[in-house]
Amino acid sequence: RVEEVSAYSDTPTVTTRAFWQSGEAHRLLQGEIAIDCSVRLLHGQADPDVPWHHSLHLAERLRSADVQTLLVKQGDHRLSRESDIALLLATVAAMPEPR
């Protein structure tokens, strides 16, 4: 069990061995990911926790032909500014209907 200070909460972020092992068992980015629906990935380029290029790598792995990656230059990990939330809502509203 590892506890780390959280930038997002007063309580620490806890990582357990079971959590780590579960993540290792479910790694998907080595091959094609069998998702065929429309996908929109929004990622802040100022995210200190997850590098934005991970979204580009994920987009490459998705089987769907309808994948768009939107990078928000000043967006952080939460994309919680009013402009970020407006973009999220507009993106969801513009999603095509499922087939």
**Distance between CA atoms of residues 89 and 99, nearest Å:** 21
pTM for the model: 0.84
Segment 12-63, tens digit of pLDDT: 999 999 999 999 999 999 999 999 999 999 999 999 999 999 999 999 999 9
- Residues 80-92 have pLDDT tens digits of 999 999 999 999 9
Residue 72: how many other CB atoms lie within 10 Å: 19
